[in-house]
Structure 1
């Protein structure tokens, strides 16, 4: 099979599309013939080993995994001997959050991990919406119905997911985006859209229970005018001089937990929750560009520009086999 193999840490030039052996499922695994995957911030950060301490998990001198890629959508083509929850031919999507490997034509994953049937009527290329939503859910799950949140950077994969997930929780949502994304934020359900290119988003005259920086471009200090006394500030990056991490540790030690870098949890439960939202029309992925597997280096380079809108997908098998599975 063909796979985008990482030859070491560094730039996207460390990726090579090669022929590698097709994996065989263990007793508790299914094998998915992948139609579509994505390239996201997790992939680019892992390739760059950023921040450096992540090497303790991914490999000190070179990556442990052969291929990157967390999101996948495709068709099950083989079952392990102990698997009864899926059938060959099922259309599925999910996340290989532990081993990656979705930048390839085939992927093996345990049947009890983050893999579910694709809801009826959703094509493969629209089902690969898990990674950004998973990270967004780490924050939006903190919101109760009727609470107020502001999402800064509501146009990326995490931000577009956060708007929809917060609305699904019944929250009031203000989305902060640039000029070209205002219509998108409104279409996703934001109650108010603030164009940061035309006004100071910290001086809009509202306060919030939760402020979420979905792109890692601001700070708790800058957002203080927006925050209620007991508000939570969440960010997807370390912040200037690692301030978000240091504040998160401090507030954690004091017991208040009012500054957080949200770490996603329980991928299997989340991916089922996401599938349910998609099935009921309450969630949709927002997609920017699609690259063929052979051009995956260009996909990584584009993601690293930080100019993408929503998700960048990778077409691996193409548009064959788009008919619905008997298991919606």
Structure 2
């Protein structure tokens, strides 16, 4: 099978497509034929080893000193179960699934083995594999930080970076939970983010969200490009600032995958795909994500 290896930390050119042996499932595992995966900002940060100064040493120890200890990156996938271990009870051959591998990575490969107890469940029936591979990273991350911020119906929520993978899911999820949503994005994405459900949209090139006079119960920095110090000016009394930058790895649960699946099948959430690349062009996909201007998600079509 083909898999993408990150041979060392550096520019997208360090990624190499290699032929490796197809894995075989253990007794409690399923073998998934991967049809789609994604390139997230997290993949690019690991590949380029982009880390805040204070976290560099612990991140090196965790990820690997000179190159990633797990050289096959990728945190989300969608595909079909091709084989099952003898103790597997939740899945059958032919089931369509989507899965989140998280910091274990490994999704940038044509086949992946996962335990049936891992973050894997049946794929939403009403979307494509590419769309399914474009919802778990952003959706689960948004859920984590909304839990951290104690989001409640009727609150005012501001999402900074509303057009990225986390931001597009956060807009839709906040509306589902009954919040009034203000989205902050670039000029080219204003109308598009409004279509996703934002009640108000601020073009950051034209206006500083802290100078509008509005106060928010939760400010979610979905791209790690503002700060608590700056955002504090726009927080309501007892308001909470949460950010994908420097506030720990999102804690994802199987219940999150099932919840997202239900919302997708009910038409309340969609995975937003900006661009799709074949496996052989994954370095180009990384270059595009590195630019920081993607709308939603960048997908890799594996087969």
Shorter-chain TM range is over 0.9
Matched with 2:79 is 74
1:280 to 263, 266, 287: 266
TM superposition score normalised by structure 2: 0.94
Coordinate RMSD, CA, aligned: 1.3
Counterparts of 2:231 and 2:102 in 1: how far apart (Å)?
32
Does 1:114 pair with 2:125? no
**Aligned-residue offset at 1:199:** 2.2
Does 1:167 pair with 2:153? no
CA deviation map 1:192-247 (0-9, x unaligned): 11122222221222111111111121122222221112111112224xxxxxxxxx
Counterparts of 1:88 and 1:181 in 2: how far apart (Å)?
41
**Aligned-residue offset at 1:88:** 0.5
Matched with 1:323 is none
Q: Is the 8 A contact 1:149 1:172 kept in 2?
A: yes
Q: Name structure 1 gaps, 5 residues minimum.
A: 239-260, 318-328
Matched with 1:92 is 97
Matched with 1:250 is none
Counterparts of 2:103 and 2:294 in 1: how far apart (Å)?
25
Matched with 2:187 is 179
Matched with 1:289 is 275
Q: Is the 8 A contact 2:228 2:241 kept in 1?
A: yes
**Aligned-residue offset at 1:265:** 1.2
Counterparts of 2:132 and 2:49 in 1: how far apart (Å)?
28
Q: Is the 8 A contact 1:134 1:270 kept in 2?
A: yes
SS in 1 for 2:102: coil
Counterparts of 2:213 and 2:119 in 1: how far apart (Å)?
41
Matched with 2:286 is 300
Q: Is the 8 A contact 1:154 1:214 kept in 2?
A: yes
**Aligned-residue offset at 1:262:** 5.4
2:129 to 124, 132, 150: 124
Counterparts of 2:83 and 2:163 in 1: how far apart (Å)?
37
2:142 to 136, 142, 146: 136
SS in 2 for 1:21: coil
Matched with 1:12 is 12
Q: Is the 8 A contact 2:232 2:241 kept in 1?
A: no
SS in 2 for 1:162: helix
Matched with 1:229 is 237
Counterparts of 1:222 and 1:193 in 2: how far apart (Å)?
19
**Aligned-residue offset at 1:169:** 1.4
TM superposition score normalised by structure 1: 0.87
Q: Map residues 204-215 of structure 1 onto 2, 5 A cutoff.
A: 204-215=212-223
Q: Is the 8 A contact 1:150 1:208 kept in 2?
A: yes
Q: Is the 8 A contact 1:91 1:118 kept in 2?
A: yes
SS in 1 for 2:70: coil
Matched with 1:326 is none
1:310 to 268, 288, 296: 296
1:62 to 41, 63, 67: 67
Does 1:266 pair with 2:252? yes
Counterparts of 2:101 and 2:208 in 1: how far apart (Å)?
39
Larger deviation: 213-222 or 153-162? 213-222
Counterparts of 2:271 and 2:107 in 1: how far apart (Å)?
18
CA deviation map 1:37-86 (0-9, x unaligned): 00001111111233223222222232111311111011000101110111
Matched residues, number: 295
Q: Is the 8 A contact 1:2 1:20 kept in 2?
A: yes
Counterparts of 1:144 and 1:96 in 2: how far apart (Å)?
29
Q: Is the 8 A contact 1:138 1:263 kept in 2?
A: no
